[in-house]
DNA sequence: GTTAAGATTCCG
DNA sequence: GGAATCTTAACG
């Protein structure tokens, strides 16, 4: 017998698939986690769990292992340094949304917007457990333009959860931002996991 | 309308 | 070390 019913999410008729049940999202990070300064959020995202619901409704979870902070219009390495444009618009919004952009003609970059409104900041997700490199991360997750502006606090297809695990991490200069000049290039705003504790 | 460069990755 | 590949933003 083929199941047929009305999706609780969008009201459309669905055939041949079980209903989408709300996840027990007890650990989903809320707004206040993301509205803090990017230099607090970037290291705090280590060991948090990035959760994505695939188009086939399968839910996958990945622990975040490497991040980079981009901090405001004064930061020459931050895209917001060249002002508010259609591409950077979402970075000026309240923290918790996704800033996704295309680079080198091949790769999508996944960023989490942080800070308060009109303070453009974002965290680049550079690595997950068993997946090093921001371009590889988006390819693994299936992230594309459609995720631009998605809200991690309310989205049904992507969010971040608490893990209870504390990261031990190191910092270093951000990768691929030589164009920003020595002062900004050398800021130790890359955070990468060394090992986990409990 | 044209053009230069890029928060990368993969191959030789 | 260099190619692949195309969007974005700056400039005319």
> A132-189: per-residue pLDDT in tens?
999 999 999 999 999 999 999 999 999 999 999 999 999 999 999 999 999 999 999 9
Question: How far is A110 from A148, CA to CA, in rounded Å?
Answer: 9
A82 touches strand C (CB under 7 A): yes
Question: How far is A154 from A161, CA to CA, in rounded Å?
Answer: 12
Q: Is the pLDDT of residue A126 over 50?
A: yes
- Strand B, nucleotides < 7 Å from a protein CB: these are 5-10
pLDDT tens digits, residue range A24-65? 556 999 999 999 999 999 999 999 999 999 999 999 999 999
Q: What's the pLDDT at A11?
A: 36
Residue A121 CB-density burial (10 A; 0-12 exposed, 13-18 middle, 19+ buried): buried
**The nucleotide closest to A82 (CA, C1' atoms):** C9
A177 φ/ψ angles, rounded to the nearest 5 degrees? -125, 35
Residue of least CA–C1' distance to C7: A102
Q: What is the mean pLDDT of residues A188-198?
A: 84
Question: How far is A117 from A63, CA to CA, in rounded Å?
Answer: 28
pLDDT tens digits, residue range A56-95? 999 999 999 999 999 999 999 999 999 999 999 999 999 9
Q: For residue A68, give both structure tokens.
A: 């980079």
Nearest-Å Rg of the Cα atoms of chain A is: 18
Q: What's the pLDDT at A26?
A: 66
A87 touches strand C (CB under 7 A): yes
Confidence of residue A10 (pLDDT cuts 50, 70, 90): very low
A179 touches strand C (CB under 7 A): no
Confidence of residue A14 (pLDDT cuts 50, 70, 90): very low
Asked if A141 and A116 touch (Cβ cutoff 8 Å), the reply is: no
Nearest to A118 by CA among A99, A143, A91: A91
Q: What's the pLDDT at A17?
A: 39
Q: Residue A31 contacts by C-beta under 8 Å, 6 or more apart in sequence?
A: A94, A95, A96, A153
A104 touches strand B (CB under 7 A): yes
Question: How far is A123 from A111, CA to CA, in rounded Å?
Answer: 5
Task: Report pTM.
Answer: 0.87
Q: Is the pLDDT of residue A7 over 80?
A: no
Question: How far is A166 from A196, CA to CA, in rounded Å?
Answer: 6
Spell A9-33 as b/e; 16+ CB within 10 A means b. eeeeeeeeeeeeeeeeeeebbeeeb
């Amino acid at each position: 017998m083929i199941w047929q019913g009305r999706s609780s999410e969008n009201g459309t008729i669905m055939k041949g698939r079980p209903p989408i049940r709300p996840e027990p999202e007890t650990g989903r990070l809320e707004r206040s986690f993301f509205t803090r300064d990017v230099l607090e959020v970037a290291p705090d995202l280590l060991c948090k769990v990035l959760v994505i619901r695939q188009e086939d409704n399968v839910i996958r979870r990945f622990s975040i292992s490497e991040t980079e902070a981009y901090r405001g219009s004064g930061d020459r390495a931050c895209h917001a340094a060249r002002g508010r444009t259609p591409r950077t618009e979402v970075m000026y919004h309240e923290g918790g949304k996704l800033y996704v952009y295309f680079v080198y003609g091949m790769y999508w970059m996944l960023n989490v917007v942080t800070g308060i409104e009109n303070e453009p900041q974002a965290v680049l997700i550079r690595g997950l457990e068993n997946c090093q490199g921001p371009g590889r991360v988006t390819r693994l997750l299936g992230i594309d333009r459609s995720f631009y502006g998605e809200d991690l606090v309310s989205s049904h297809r992507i969010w971040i959860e608490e893990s209870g695990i504390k990261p031990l991490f190191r910092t270093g200069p951000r990768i691929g931002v030589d164009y920003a000049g020595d002062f900004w290039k050398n800021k130790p705003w890359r955070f990468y996991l060394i090992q986990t504790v409990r």
